[in-house]
């Protein structure tokens, strides 16, 4: 793959969906992996080449697992190479440890981790003045979500399958996914071409706690790769259709503020407080 072709594909998504606008303060959620690193470098390049008056920062949650400090070092290196400021948020700041949570809930750790990420990736950047949060979610991720949701007859989520999720509430940041039309392998090649260090994809920070959901995701990535081998351009065609389909499913949830922490939620109590209300005494505000 030519890097120019990769960049022009991503730039087209950024332009078409107005992912970057003047006066934006975009926080790129960095996991240490190749995908979010690609989002950081590609956004930086776009902003520079188009002289957009906008601020870019890295944001990383340190989950406090045995490998988290090593992951943080990689993220620090990525931000340094991109010459962007990095904000690191240690989970222990809110008195939460995933290992403790695991003892108290039967929910799979990946889903707990997802609740935490969604909550903190909105709350912390917003409180620091962000206008948008960018993630490294890419084409293969969305195809996996798409097939799993269709099989589970969970059509509501399709409304969220687009490169830009506008804010639905004053406390909800706009989410952007610049890598919507490129796959994981392309991101790997992009990072390699820039010599950007990254943590290997299948090293989930919680593998040591037997996180099984990620293995299921790997199976789906394989299935999608196989279809693409048989049917060239399958992924790209599917994504184009999915964006169109997302327009048929409106985001019908009217958000309100969680009665415990005040963060936006569609229910009385948000997903975070439901999970961590055990820790309610430890002020999460
Ligand atoms: P995942 O759910 O692990 O596939 O991650 C999806 C996206 O969430 C990544 O592409 C990142 O943008 C973001 N992300 C994942 N882990 C972290 C983290 N520890 N800190 C900040 N952002 C993260
Ligand atoms: Zn809450």
**Contact (CB, 8 A) for 26 and 43:** yes
| The predicted structure's pLDDT at residue 252 | 63
Q: How many domains does the chain have?
A: 2
Could you tell me the distance, in angstroms and rounded to a whole number, from the CA of residue 264 to the centre of ligand 2? Answer: 8
Residue linked to tokens 């695991």: 102
Say how far apart CA 131 and CA 172 lie, in whole Å: 10
Whether residue 18 sits in one domain with residue 58: yes
For residue 53, the SS3 value is: coil
In short, whether 31's Cβ falls inside 6 Å of ligand 1 is yes
Closest-approaching ligand to the CA atom of 40: 1
Residue nearest ligand 1's atom 12 by CA: 135
Length of the chain: 285
Say how far apart CA 158 and CA 161 lie, in whole Å: 5
In this structure, the number of other CB atoms found within 10 A of the CB of residue 20 comes to: 21
Max alpha carbon distance in the chain (Å)? 55
| The predicted structure's pLDDT at residue 206 | 57
In short, whether 187's Cβ falls inside 6 Å of ligand 1 is no
Whether residue 35 sits in one domain with residue 125: yes
Ligand 1 atom showing the smallest separation from residue 141 Cα? 4
| The predicted structure's pLDDT at residue 213 | 52
Whether residue 260 sits in one domain with residue 176: no
Whether residue 106 sits in one domain with residue 210: yes
Q: 71: domain CATH number?
A: 3.40.50.620
Beta partners for residue 174, in sequence order = 132
Whether residue 207 sits in one domain with residue 93: yes
> What are the per-10-residue average pLDDT scores of the chain (285 residues)?
92 98 98 96 98 97 88 97 98 81 73 88 97 96 91 87 94 98 95 95 53 68 92 95 88 85 95 74 44
Task: Estimate to the nearest angstrom the gap between the alpha carbon of 42 and the chain centroid.
Answer: 15
Whether residue 161 sits in one domain with residue 23: yes
**Contact (CB, 8 A) for 205 and 37:** no
Extended strands (E) in 2-54: 25-29
Q: Which domain holds residue 260?
A: 255-285
Nearest to 266 by CA among 176, 174, 171: 171
Whether residue 149 sits in one domain with residue 16: yes
Contact partners, residue 28, CB within 8 Å, separation at least 6:
36, 39, 40, 43, 56, 57, 58, 59, 84, 133, 134, 135
Whether residue 194 sits in one domain with residue 266: no
In short, whether 137's Cβ falls inside 6 Å of ligand 1 is yes
**Contact (CB, 8 A) for 199 and 37:** no
Whether residue 244 sits in one domain with residue 261: no
Whether residue 275 sits in one domain with residue 246: no
Say how far apart CA 87 and CA 155 lie, in whole Å: 35
**Contact (CB, 8 A) for 68 and 205:** yes
Produce one character per residue of 149-182: b if its CB has 16 or more CB atoms within 10 Å, e if not: beeeeeeebbbebbbbbebebebbbbbbbbbbbb
Whether residue 192 sits in one domain with residue 276: no
Ligand 1 atom showing the smallest separation from residue 62 Cα? 19
| The predicted structure's pLDDT at residue 110 | 73
In short, whether 160's Cβ falls inside 6 Å of ligand 1 is no
Say how far apart CA 235 and CA 225 lie, in whole Å: 9
> Given the DSSP bridges, would you call strands 164-165 and 264-265 parallel, antiparallel or unpaired?
unpaired
Token pair recorded at residue 152: 């589970």
Whether residue 196 sits in one domain with residue 285: no
Extended strands (E) in the chain: 25-29, 55-62, 85-90, 132-134, 164-165, 174-176, 256-257, 264-265
């Amino acid at each position: 793959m030519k890097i120019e072709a990769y960049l022009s594909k991503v730039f087209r998504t950024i332009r078409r969906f107005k992912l970057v606008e003047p006066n934006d303060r975009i926080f790129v959620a960095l996991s240490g992996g190749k995908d979010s690193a690609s989002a950081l470098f590609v956004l930086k390049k776009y902003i520079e080449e188009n002289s957009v008056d906008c601020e870019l920062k890295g944001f990383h949650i340190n989950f406090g697992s045995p490998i988290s400090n090593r992951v943080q070092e990689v993220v620090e290196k990525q931000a340094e190479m991109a010459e962007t400021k990095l904000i690191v948020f240690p989970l222990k700041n809110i008195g939460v440890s995933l290992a403790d949570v695991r003892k108290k809930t039967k929910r799979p750790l990946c889903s707990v981790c997802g609740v935490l990420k969604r909550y903190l990736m909105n709350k912390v950047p917003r409180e620091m003045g962000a206008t948008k949060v960018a993630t490294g979610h890419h084409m293969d991720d969305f195809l996996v979500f798409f097939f799993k949701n269709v099989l589970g007859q969970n059509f509501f989520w399709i409304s969220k399958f687009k490169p830009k999720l506008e804010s639905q509430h004053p406390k909800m940041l706009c989410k952007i996914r610049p890598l919507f039309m490129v796959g994981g392998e392309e991101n790997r090649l992009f990072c390699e071409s820039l010599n950007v260090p990254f943590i290997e994809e299948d090293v989930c920070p919680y593998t040591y706690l037997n996180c099984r959901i990620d293995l299921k995701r790997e199976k789906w990535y394989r299935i999608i790769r196989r279809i693409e081998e048989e049917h060239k351009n399958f992924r790209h065609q599917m994504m184009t259709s999915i964006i169109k389909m997302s327009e048929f499913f409106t985001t019908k949830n009217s958000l309100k503020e969680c009665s415990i922490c005040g963060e936006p939620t569609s229910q009385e109590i948000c997903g975070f407080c439901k999970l961590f209300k055990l820790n309610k005494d430890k002020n999460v505000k």
